[in-house]
Amino acid sequence: MLELRNVTVNYGSIVALQDVSLKVEKGAIVTLIGANGAGKSTTLRTISGLLKPVQGSILYEGKEIGGLPAHQIVALRLSHVPEGRMIFANLSVRENLLMGAYLRKDRTKLQHEFDYIFAMFPRLQERSRQIAGTLSGGEQQMLAIGRALMSKPRCLMLDEPSLGIAPILVKTIFEKIREINQSLGITVLLVEQNANLALEVSNYGYVLETGRIILHDRSEALRANEKVKSAYLGG
């Protein structure tokens, strides 16, 4: 579904990603784990077109998308829920969701997505007229995910969905990620600092260290891996 081949990305003169290759199979949940600054977010930002690779190729459903601007990539039904959520703080919850459907031509059919998202996150429905900036961190994360779903993606990329969120909501959000994958059939690429959680929910994992993939395997195998255990799973 999504494949990176030898992708290199620079920030000015600093190499942020070097020769990264990875594969996300259709229908899977794939995770990217690693320490702060390892290049996880950079990888997602490059796939979604916010950054340009200097080398390598990015294939989405067989089509080269490396170097396309972000607004064209989301049109291919590949959505990115960015780190820090980046909701539109001055817009209402409902308007935020509508922005997610910006490219949809079938605007009369949006109610279906609204119903679905409100059923998944009832809190958003209760607060649909509220200004999004007044939501709690966890609610903002739900909104960011809901907003991305409004574009009817076939592949969803999530960047640190647990960051700065009350533990009880983290659990809910990870349940919803699994639900999105299983009942909507959306392929998920998940970046997460909480490696325990990430490897629990995913089928396959990649470990990034200073801009390189150092290890990849099925998630269960990674959880059993001594190196991963000591470095990322807290012993």
> Taking CB under 8 A as the rule, which mask of x and - marks residues 118-157 in contact with other proteins?
---------------x-xxx--x------xx--x------
Candidates 35, 54, 59, 99: give the one binding other proteins (CB under 8 A): 99
Which residue bears the tokens 């961190």? 137
Candidates 67, 89, 126, 182: give the one binding other proteins (CB under 8 A): 89
Task: Supply the angle between the helices 110-120 and 167-184 in degrees, to the nearest 10.
Answer: 140
Q: Is 141 exposed, middle or buried (0-12, 13-18, 19+ CB in 10 A)?
A: buried
- Taking CB under 8 A as the rule, does residue 98 contact other proteins? yes
| From 3-11, 33-41, 45-53, 216-224, span contacting other proteins (CB under 8 A) | 45-53
- Specify the residue, 95 or 220, whose C-beta has the smaller distance to other proteins: 95
Nearest to 212 by CA among 22, 47, 2, 13: 22
- Specify the residue, 12 or 235, whose C-beta has the smaller distance to other proteins: 12
Phi, psi for 34 (deg, rounded to 5)? 160, 170
d(CA 19, CA 48): 18
CB 52 to other proteins: min, Å: 12
Q: Which helix (H) or strand (E) holds 192?
A: none
User: How many residues would you count in the chain?
Assistant: 235
> For other proteins, how many residues bind (rule: CB under 8 A)?
32
- Taking CB under 8 A as the rule, does residue 11 contact other proteins? no
**Tokens representing 96?**
């935020």
- Specify the residue, 94 or 223, whose C-beta has the smaller distance to other proteins: 94
> Taking CB under 8 A as the rule, which mask of x and - marks residues 189-228 in contact with other proteins?
----------------------------------------
**Tokens representing 148?**
């991305």
Q: Could you tell me the maximum CA-CA distance found in the chain, to the nearest angstrom?
A: 52
> Taking CB under 8 A as the rule, which mask of x and - marks residues 48-77 in contact with other proteins?
xxx------------------xxx--xx--
d(CA 139, CA 161): 11
Candidates 26, 64, 67, 103: give the one binding other proteins (CB under 8 A): 103
d(CA 85, CA 158): 9
Residues forming contacts to other proteins in the complex (CB under 8 A) are: 48-50, 69-71, 74-75, 79-80, 82, 86-91, 95, 98-100, 102-103, 133, 135-137, 140, 147-148, 151, 164
